[in-house]
Amino acid sequence: MNIVSQSFAGHISDLDLAAFAMANTVIDGFNFAMLLGMASALETLCGQAYGAKQHHMLGIYMQRSWLVLLAFAVLLSPVYVFSGRLLAALGQPAELAREAGMIGMCFLPSHLMYAILLPVMTFLQCQLKNRVTAAAAAVVFAVHVAATIFGVVVAFNLSWAIFAALLVAYALGGGCPETWSGFSASAFVDLKEFVALSASSGVMVCLENWYYRILVFLTGFMKNAELSVDALSIWVRVANELGATNGQGAKFATIVSTTTSFLISLFVSLLALIFHDKLAIIFSSSRAVIDAVDSISVLLALTILLNGIQPVLSGVAIGSGWQGLVAYVNIGSYYLIGVPVGVLLGWGFNYGVPGIWAGMIGGTMMQTLILAIITLRCDWNEEALKAGNRVRQWSSAK
């Protein structure tokens, strides 16, 4: 849906593409990352509770997540309302900040939908009901493509609302009889502990997600900012969308998932290299933008390859409850290595956008390497015991 929306915006004008990218990738993206991260606490709790056959806890966890995410969504809402002023105050070009601010305000309804949709998606995923989410997504995607003709942001909000409505209707309407027994006052119990886990999950995912969004934001300070943001937003969108895909059982699942994802991302990386001069045509009719994307296709292919491995390792960390540890890894890899090196190459050595992107890739490679070492050294039987204890503790606290 993001690719379709950005493509339509890009074929209107270069300014519309840059403004949509700034509003969607930076403003909406920053807040989405926060809610996504907080919702990922459910991946730990619901996944382990389902494995321990504490099925009744999944519905309670989802209700707690709704309460926490909706509260944070409301607190984050002013960012959308004042997004134009915020971007201008941070030094973005006046015209770009104004257009992005207008679009940013329009993203507010979808922001609230994230708080409802993300917990129910995780709730279903932990029960291995991915086909339900896939079927709903297929329906919504068709609606989104058709509705985008009448307005990019209107279609975006409508699609997320329909997506949330379909999954909530399935989960609460009888599709999950073992794990949903109705609304319960138990959802309000132990909210402090739940918020703490959600916050640590949010920090971990935000540090990871914000990394590439900061990259798009930084390009707004370059000469010819509109072109730089256009090109870079396309690279980020393509890389993110195309790249992301018991104790011994967990170890086996990790090996299978990492291997499968690596092979898929390798294939897609090769496609990016083969069609290096045609990728940007999906997003823009501007020759300057198309040439800018083409000039850095090698870095794009490498990013896709890394994005096929890194998210799997992050998923292992979330499933194992290592959010706090990985947050420190992300700070060191991304913000002490990636961003400074990117800024040094981009401005200090005058390599521009390719320099910033190369520095960011270095940070991602460092984070992937550290996560791989942690995963390889993990004692999965010990982790299984910890998970069992955690489930019993949370279940008894109900």
In this predicted model, what pLDDT tens digit does every residue of 130-187 receive, in sequence order? 899 999 999 999 999 999 978 888 999 999 999 999 999 999 999 999 999 999 998 9
pLDDT at 326: 84
pLDDT at 226: 60
The percent of residues in the chain predicted with pLDDT above 70, rounded, is 89
Tallying the residues shown for the chain, one arrives at: 398
Q: What is the pTM of this model?
A: 0.80
Give every CB contact of residue 232 below 8 A, 6+ residues apart in sequence.
21, 215, 216, 219, 353, 357
Q: Taking a C-beta distance cutoff of 8 angstroms, is the pair 284, 17 a contact?
A: yes
Q: Taking a C-beta distance cutoff of 8 angstroms, is the pair 283, 7 a contact?
A: yes
pLDDT at 243: 40
By C-alpha distance, which of 135, 109, 310 is closest to 205?
A: 310
What DSSP line would sit under 228-278, residue for residue? HHHHHHHHHHHHHHHH---HHHHHHHHHHHHHHHHHHHHHHHHHHHHTTTT
* Separation CA 16–CA 31 (nearest Å): 21
Amino acid at 162: I
Count Cα neighbours of 157 within 13 Å in the Cβ-side half-sphere. 13
In the numeric block, the tokens 């900012």 are attached to: 225
For 252, the token pair is 């086996």
pLDDT at 225: 58
Three-class DSSP category at 307: helix
* Separation CA 285–CA 109 (nearest Å): 30
Average pLDDT by consecutive 10-residue portion of the chain (398 residues)? Answer: 86 85 86 88 84 88 95 94 92 90 94 96 91 95 91 92 97 94 89 84 80 76 61 52 49 79 88 87 84 84 84 76 82 91 90 86 91 84 72 61
Amino acid at 163: F
Mean pLDDT taken over the chain: 84
Q: Taking a C-beta distance cutoff of 8 angstroms, is the pair 323, 203 a contact?
A: yes
pLDDT at 250: 63
pLDDT at 100: 93
pLDDT at 234: 54
The rounded radius of gyration (Å) of the Cα atoms in the chain is 21
Longest dimension (CA), the chain: 62
